[in-house]
Amino acid sequence: MWSEIADGFNKTLATGAVDQGAQSSHQGIPQRPVPGRFRIRRRGQNYTAEQLARAKHAFLAAYSQVGIRTWACEMAGIGSRARIDEWLEKDEEFSLAFHQAEAAALEVMEREAWRRAVEGSPYTRTSYWHGEAVGTDAKIEYSDALMTLLLRARAPEKYREKVDLSVSQVVKTLAGIDPASVL
């Protein structure tokens, strides 16, 4: 059973598609699901083996795209994060697949950070004068902060913040006490 789930999960990772949830216009990142589109299980209801496999696969596919547990639970129709924690504790194969999905989600986030830092985010701004629109500016905004973080992650020995702490010991002589006897 888990081999079919792993195959489906790997296909989802390869295509970058999440079957549930609408796609946003922002680099294929899924939006939050439409309320009522997914059936959330009530507390105390148990999954059949097939439903359990589909729920795990749906969660892993969503998590690999968004990297946020609660959001991925909503997208997969899983009622709470506690169920994911339970699966992580009790199912070693799910735990392994979860860590693969986590690595895939990190790559999605790094790709987006790179895009914002290097390619920039285009936007348009309307200028107003005395309450009337007088023009529109189209600009591309780059993120220097994201570029700094990417450089620190890739080459920390070169780009990390250097802090020099020098500590000197000062011992004052009090009346009648020898500083050497205290140290």
Domain ranges of the chain: 2-119, 120-162
pLDDT-based confidence at residue 176 (cuts at 50, 70, 90)? low
2's tokens? 């888990």
User: How is residue 140 annotated by DSSP?
Assistant: E
For 50, the token pair is 């097939």
> Which of the pair, 46 or 2, is modelled with greater confidence?
46
Could you tell me which residue, 62 or 171, shows the higher pLDDT? Answer: 62
User: And the tokens for 156?
Assistant: 């920390």
CA distance 124 to 171: 63
Q: Residue 81: its pLDDT value, please?
A: 87
Name beta bridge partners: 124.
138
Retrieve residue 141's tokens. 């905004």
Cβ(66)–Cβ(58) below 8 Å = no
Q: How distant is the alpha carbon of residue 32 from its chain centre?
A: 15
